[in-house]
Amino acid sequence: AQSVTQLDSHVSVSEGTPVLLRCNYSSSYSPSLFWYVQHPNKGLQLLLKYTSAATLVKGINGFEAEFKKSETSFHLTKPSAHMSDAAEYFCVVSRSNNAGNMLTFGGGTRLMVKP
């Protein structure tokens, strides 16, 4: 079984300050992990993915995440927030079947960016 816990349902930062969105996972095997972003009234866009290569993963729009197996964490960070980063962020763990991948989503973190 696999599960994902996003530790904060809401995070508020000021524009230009760092962003930290926390995610812990549970998986009985080596997981693939993702962060997706959803802007209001939009679909889900892949930010970045970890697939057992480098533990520090760089994504789009300046985001990055570090896989820490010992802490079962995959936190998302960005050095400097922009107003356009305001959105809902989902941490996701993947399990493969022989036809594709089954994704389990965390509950989401709503990021608010203050001017």
Partner 1 sequence: DSGVTQTPKHLITATGQRVTLRCSPRSGDLSVYWYQQSLDQGLQFLIQYYNGEERAKGNILERFSAQQFPDLHSELNLSSLELGDSALYFCASSRVTDYGYTFGSGTRLTVV
Residues 60-89, interacting with partner 1 (CB under 8 A): none
User: Residue 21 pairs with which residues in a beta bridge?
Assistant: 76
CB of 20 to partner 1, least distance (A): 21
User: In sequence order, what E strands does the chain have?
Assistant: 2-6, 10-14, 19-21, 23-27, 32-38, 44-50, 56-58, 64-68, 73-78, 87-97, 100-105, 109-114
Residue whose CB is less far from partner 1, 32 or 72: 32
Instruction: Select 25 or 90, whichever has its Cβ closest to partner 1.
Output: 90
Stretch that binds partner 1, among 12-20, 38-46, 56-64, 78-86 (CB under 8 A): 38-46
